[in-house]
Amino acid sequence: MQDLHDDHERYRKQSMQLTLTDIFEARRAIAGRVVRTPLLPSRFMTEQTGQPFFLKMETMQPTGAFKLRGATNAARNAPEGTTTLTCCSTGNHGRGVAYAARELGLNAVICMSSLVPQTKLDGIRALGSETRIVGNSQDDALAECRKLGQATGVFEISPFDDPYVIAGQGTIGLEILEDVPNLDTLLVPLSGGGLAAGVALAAKSINPQVRVVGLTMDRGAAMKTSIDAGRPVEVPEVASLADSLGGGIGLDNRLSFAMCRDLLDEIILVTEGEIYRAMQALYYEDSHVAEGACVVGIAAILAGKLTAPKGPVATIITGRNVDMVQFTKVMTGQDVMLGDYLLEGKPYGA
């Protein structure tokens, strides 16, 4: 048991200063196990911005979301002797860890709060993993995950504050810059910061002039609140159309907080109503079914919150694992209940 504990400690202490080399190594580790997703042009968003606009379609991953990249890289670098992977998740990371565990012949226990949509629970269970629903926030789920991680052979993979996870997500940035070398602005959904940190590191290492903007909902914006405070802080977690962006960043955050603080040029907050309209726009204009978390960049542009870009723009369509009942209500202009908050609907274009 002590040898495995020592391996865990070495794992957590290494790569505390990530570089572009780590991201290239991650690409080699996950090659053939994740999809190099297409970067599709959006005629509608090109018209809105006056610049070429591209959608990075992470919805085409086998698990339906970008999280598979980081989860696969971390799982393949787990300490020798690991028999079980565990994590806390708002859904997509858990699905990625469950998928990676199955591919490697490992067990998985995924800890989630009561706010996680049923569709995401079902997707994880379908991969053969155990799920534990704990409390009403990701912090509650994390506490349970940390307990599990103390057992022999069990290894915890953070959804965002892990060097291998961040490097894995950073491979998205490599692909975008390879496809559009003259990219001006990169819009990245922001939650715990693993995606934003990795993508920003990749993009700015290749082209320091690229503007990288983090975007999130205005209710429960943990990373933005923490950066404003100068340290990681707790933020109440509430129901949102962008449920994948919920949860805190961890008071003991070691990597993603500092990387987002130092690498992001700006953080923009969008309202639930703006997310609602952007989900409709992505569906009706570009025919994509996607989670609310995917459209925060589109929402900021349609709401006039983003400074006009001077060249090509890209955003990451992060996942498709949406609650279809809720999605149908949004597409048909119906009201949506988010916890105790009533979001009034409106038909697209009305």
Judging by DSSP bridges, how do beta strands 107-112 and 185-189 pair with one another? unpaired
What is the C-alpha to C-alpha distance for residues 153 and 5, in angstroms, rounded to an integer? Answer: 9
Band of residue 62 on the pLDDT scale cut at 50, 70, 90: very high
For the segment 130-151, the average pLDDT, to the nearest whole number, is: 87
Question: In the predicted model, what is the mean pLDDT of the chain?
Answer: 93
Count of domains observed in the chain: 2
Question: Where residue 147 sits, what CATH number does that domain have?
Answer: 3.40.50.1100
* Pair 88, 205 in one domain: no
| Claim to verify: residue 44 and residue 176 sit in the same structural domain | yes
Q: Are both 120 and 176 inside the same structural domain?
A: no
| 195 lies in the same domain as 268 | yes
pLDDT tens digits, one per residue of 209-237? 999 999 999 999 999 999 999 999 999 98
Among 47, 61, 92, which residue's Cα sits nearest to residue 313?
47
Q: Identify the band that residue 17 occupies on the pLDDT scale cut at 50, 70 and 90.
A: confident
Q: What is the mean pLDDT of residues 59-77?
A: 97
Q: Which domain holds residue 101?
A: 67-156
Query: What does the alpha-carbon distance between residue 195 and residue 193 come to, in Å, rounded to a whole number?
Result: 6
Percent of the chain whose predicted confidence (pLDDT) is above 70:
95
Q: Are residues 233 and 89 in the same domain?
A: no
Q: What is the pLDDT of residue 10?
A: 44
Domain end residue (candidates: 120, 136, 156): 156
**Phi, psi of 310, deg, nearest 5:** -105, 0
> Cα Rg for the chain, rounded, in angstroms?
19
* Per-residue pLDDT tens digits for 254-301: 999 999 999 999 999 999 999 999 999 999 999 999 999 999 999 999
pLDDT score for 13: 41
pLDDT band for 16, please (50, 70, 90 cuts).
Answer: low
Same domain assignment for residues 200 and 291: yes
Residues 6+ apart with CB under 8 A from 286: 40, 42, 43, 44, 45, 55
Q: 300 and 194: one domain?
A: yes
Q: Is residue 121 part of a domain?
A: yes
> Is the same domain home to 140 and 172?
no
The length of the chain is 350
| Among candidate residues 315, 86, 73, 91, the one with its CA nearest the CA of residue 190 | 315
Specify the pLDDT at position 143. Answer: 87
Q: Taking 90 as the threshold, does the pLDDT of residue 120 lie above it?
A: no
Name the pLDDT band for 251 (thresholds 50, 70, 90).
very high
Question: 3: pLDDT confidence band, cut at 50, 70 and 90?
Answer: very low
Residue ending a domain, among 140, 156, 172, is 156
pLDDT at 307: 95
Residues 144 and 274 in one domain: no
* Partners of 133 in the β-ladder: 112
Question: For residue 340, is it within any domain?
Answer: no
Least confident span in 14-18, 127-131, 146-150, 301-305: 14-18
Q: What is the pLDDT of residue 210?
A: 98
**Is residue 135 helix, strand or coil?**
coil
pLDDT at 1: 36
Q: Report the pLDDT averaged over residues 24-43.
A: 98
Question: For 189-205, what is each residue's pLDDT tens digit?
Answer: 999 999 999 999 999 99
The predicted pLDDT at position 280 comes to 98
204 with 252, same domain: the answer is: yes
